[in-house]
Amino acid sequence: MATTYYTEEHEWLEVDGDTATLGITKHAAEQLGEVVFVELKEVGDTFDKDDEIGVVESVKAASELYAPVSGEILEANEALVDSPDQVNEDPEGNSWFYKISIADASELDGLMSEAEYKALIE
């Protein structure tokens, strides 16, 4: 069973074993407005917690994606590069950014639950 975590930077991380799917929250997508560009790292890239691992640009602003945990990119959602507007359509579903291998599961302890995240954005 997967567990979903959230960051103060409005990212979600759905963890299943030592693999996680990473995306931005619906709240983040709404705040950004119409997404017009997505830049992703390459499969096989490794990163440390809090490293910049991508960029999302909208008609309003550009926003960096930061790694909520250390790991390696197993898969990048290349469909977002060709159709960045998908981020607005389904940010917490099919518009995920990466599938990653988690290097240090203890880093999940610093992330928020769904209830904690909802309290943050209220």
> What is the structure's pLDDT at 122?
92
Instruction: Going from the first residue of the chain to its last (122 residues), give the mean pLDDT of each consecutive group of 10, the final group possibly shorter.
Output: 91 96 96 96 97 95 95 98 95 96 96 96 94
Q: pTM, whole model, 2 decimals?
A: 0.94
pLDDT of the residue at 38: 97
**If you write DSSP's letter for every residue of 22-83 in order, what string do you get?**
EEE-HHHHHHH-SEEEEEEPPTT-EE-TT-EEEEEEESS-EEEEE-SS-EEEEEE-THHHH-
User: Which pair of structure tokens corresponds to residue 121?
Assistant: 């954005």
Q: With beta carbons less than 8 A apart as the criterion, state whether 79 and 86 touch.
A: yes
Determine contact, residues 1/59, Cβ cutoff 8 Å.
no
pLDDT of residue 2: 76
CATH 1.10.240.10 for the 3-105 domain, yes or no = no
Determine the pLDDT at residue 73: 98
Map out the domains of the chain as residue ranges.
Answer: 3-105
